[in-house]
Structure 1
Amino acid sequence: NVLESLLRLLHPLMPFITDTIWQRVVPLSALKVDAGASIMVQAFPEVEAAKQDDNVLADIEWVKKFIVGIRNIRGEMDISPNKPLNALLKNVSDEDARRLDAAKAFLDKLSKLETV
């Protein structure tokens, strides 16, 4: 079911590939469609508000802002994106420290950081 939903989301970007895979996946999913149906006429998956976690969304936004901040500094100071950087954070709250620990692998990889 997860793959089937992802295929519906990706269909506008990769129509031929997703339709081919979807035709093989849909009989295995819980979705009930006609045998000749196409992914083109299927609705986009809908978000279930009860399953959203606002804390996780806030954490992801924090990670995105951190990465954009590092990339902006690189651009302003004309530092190559391939050069590893050392980052120094000041006035870090407990929440920031928790987010930093949880997302360290992503931040190191996406921001090319050597140390924080």
Structure 2
Amino acid sequence: IPFILEYERRYYNALEDRVLNLSGMDLNEIPFEVAKVPKLHSIILDENNLEKLSTKGSDVLSSIPALKALSLSKNPWTNVLLDSLQKLSTLESFVFDFIAFKQLGD
């Protein structure tokens, strides 16, 4: 399935089950479209290319009032802003394991 069709299919499924699974989509930033899914309570962003949780990305996530669970496992993190995580006050579950940190110069 071409990337854009798979991306759209996953968003369509999220409208019904309120869980958006964007695992393995080769994303390097949290897409702003996630905030447009009504009543979204879970986002799975495992196995992407997220190297940082930017202020912009955390602003998108914090704008989702029903967000209760976020999974960010298996991403090549280099920088996570703690202030960005603190904005996500509605979270009840936050999965951040199996993180592959890149070393400077790699």
TM-score computed with the length of structure 2 as normaliser:
0.27
Which one has a bigger Cα radius of gyration?
1
TM-score (norm: length of structure 1): 0.26
Q: By percentage of residues, which structure has more strand? A: 2
Query: Larger helix proportion, structure 1 or 2?
Result: 1
